[in-house]
Amino acid sequence: MDQIAAHQDSATSTDWPVAIYRTLKSFGVAQVSYVPDAGHSKLIKLSHADAGIKTTVLTTEEEGVAMVAGAWLGGDRAVLLMQSSGVGNCVNMLSLMASCRFPLLTLVTMRGEWAEFNPWQIPMGRATPQALEIMGTTVLRLENPDDAEEVISAAASLAYDGDQQVAVLISQRMIGRKKWTKETH
């Protein structure tokens, strides 16, 4: 059953990271920073392979918020990639973005919602939208792989042209069920 579900997920979602990458390129994104997440792995690979994007691995997500601010000061558009568990780490650093009206575009892969098997992921997953919203960050949802370009494009315009802080929450349903072991179960 899980195998079938995973197969269906990957069949529908193969190209959405590519769609996101192309959209970010069309907006002239020059810096990408990330805390790794399986759901972002393809986008991270594409970013590292692109000589036109400076790609940086972080030790914790709030580093990326500060880095996005510095990039903007220097004229670079930046994107921050993380998993929902990292959103809580960013709360105070989001003050920087609100106080200075720095654009922020962050793409957050969700855990703790669709078919989550690990109860420890659920509290932060459930609190993710509110944790962003209490700091003034606009939350958009990406639920369907076919909407990737449209949603990322809308978020990028809001951020870079509207000087807003914007998070796109990428549904766990798009990422597929996590395979806990190599054996099927």
Q: What is 148-172 written as a DSSP string?
A: HHHHHHHHHIIIIIT--EEEEEEPH
Q: Comparing C-alpha atoms, which of 167, 175, 182, 2 is closest to residue 86? A: 167
Cβ neighbours of 144 (radius 10 Å): 15
Site string for other proteins, 143-172 (x = CB under 8 A): ------------------x-x---------
Q: Which of 57, 115, 122, 134 binds other proteins (CB under 8 A)?
A: 57
Binding flag, residue 92, other proteins (CB under 8 A): yes
CA distance 159 to 176: 28
Cα of 159 vs its chain's centroid, Å: 14
Rounded to 5°, the CA angle 163-167-172 comes to 165
In the complex, the smallest distance separating the C-beta of residue 175 from other proteins, rounded to whole angstroms, is 25
Which token pair is 140? Answer: 């958009």
Q: Looking at beta carbons only, is 41 or 55 nearer to other proteins?
A: 55
Q: Looking at beta carbons only, is 30 or 131 nearer to other proteins?
A: 30
Binding flag, residue 129, other proteins (CB under 8 A): no
In the complex, the smallest distance separating the C-beta of residue 144 from other proteins, rounded to whole angstroms, is 31
Binding flag, residue 54, other proteins (CB under 8 A): yes
Binding flag, residue 71, other proteins (CB under 8 A): yes
Binding flag, residue 96, other proteins (CB under 8 A): yes
Helix (H, G, I), strand (E, B) or coil at 117: coil
Sites of contact with other proteins (CB under 8 A): 30-31, 54, 56-60, 62-76, 78, 92-93, 95-96, 99-102, 161, 163
